[in-house]
Amino acid sequence: MPPPAPSSGKHKVVEKPVRVCEGCGAAAEFDPATGGLKCSYCGVEKVIPRAAPLRHPLQVIARLGSSVNVPTTTLQCTNCGAVASVASNRMGTSCAFCMAPLVAMSRLAELPAEAVLPFSVTRAAAAEHLQAWARRLWFRPLKVKRLSTLREVRGVYVPHWVYDATAHSDWSADAGHEYEQEGVAVIGGEEQTVRERQTRWENAWGVHDKAYGELVVSASAGLPPRELAEIEPFPLGDEVVRFQRDFVAGFEAERPAFSVLDGWLHALRQIVTQEEGTCEQLVPGTVRRNLRVSTATTDERALSLLLPVYVAAYEHGGQVYRVLINGCTGKITGQAPLSWWRIGSLAAGVVAAAAMLLASWL
């Protein structure tokens, strides 16, 4: 089931903050290899202290929101209308999702984030994954085979909402107990003993309680959930840390496309569906009917989380294709068109070889 649609007409927004090197003043970026900041100019490195993220009550987040000041310049895509916020030294960038140019609009100062799963796969490793993926493809355009040389392999932190809650369900149903009963039937003019299957129905009811954790809902407007699902899972244990701007320095971070309450509706549907399945198994007997489940949740908590994804977009035949790489595991998925010219060339070669072989026999 896909996440709910955005609650407003706003487009997706991508942040790209910049951090200044404490040694030379140049731009410093997060280094997935070391987990710290590194200046690409003078090589000075900085350790980023890590802390566990805090889960806040759902209603508190909905009322107060959560944001971190990240000064950026707002740009808008000339093709799909996506709104991206990037560092001032990246004014010539293009849309991460459709490759179209971005034009300047205004200033933006807040990035909603409470937790982040930092990149651990480097850009060089991502390029190697792309090259290996492209080599496995057959009858594809040369452009696909050269994916590892593309300049626009972009690291993007994709927004998600993560929920915890305790569910209490009251259920009732008709529980059926099947049994066999002997009877007498006239078959072929003779009485014979037969066994008939019968069901004895009785009322059944009960309760079920469960604590749910790590209910993850994608809040991305740029990447469809089905594509993100193909590069899961992401490690959501101790690797997830409290958000700091240093973790996203040099990378892009998309803003959530819908609110924490809109995301909670999707998480709640997950809970209700699981509770219905669990309560069905609690009904005694061999068959059941008229199952009714009433579920209520308490202690709802939420967290805005950024997950790392490398995005490589390329254009072929007037259409944009994407390749995604999990920024922690390297798992890859992508779209690649067929090269009908290559297929035609192979077919022509096969026909020519067959004709030559046939001629040699005649």
Residue type, 314: Y
pLDDT of residue 139: 45
Residue 75 lies in a domain: yes
**pLDDT tens, position by position, 174-229:** 999 998 887 777 777 777 777 788 899 999 999 999 999 999 999 988 888 899 99
Is 53 exposed, middle or buried, given 0-12, 13-18 or 19+ CB atoms closer than 10 A? Answer: middle
Question: What CA–CA distances, in Å, run from 49 to 209, 247, 322?
Answer: 38, 10, 34
Residue 192 lies in a domain: no
Give the separation between CA 333 and CA 76, rounded to whole angstroms: 27
Residue 8 lies in a domain: no
Residue type, 97: F
Residue 196 lies in a domain: no
pLDDT of residue 10: 44
Residue 47 lies in a domain: yes
Residue 361 lies in a domain: no
Residue 195 lies in a domain: no
pLDDT, averaged in runs of 10, over the chain (362 residues):
45 59 80 89 87 83 56 56 52 58 49 86 87 64 52 82 96 93 75 82 96 93 89 93 88 85 93 96 94 95 93 72 90 65 49 62 64
Domain of 156 in residue numbering reads as 13-174+203-353
pLDDT of residue 90: 44
pLDDT of residue 265: 93
Residue 179 lies in a domain: no
Mean pLDDT score across all residues of the chain = 77
- Report how many domains make up the chain: 1
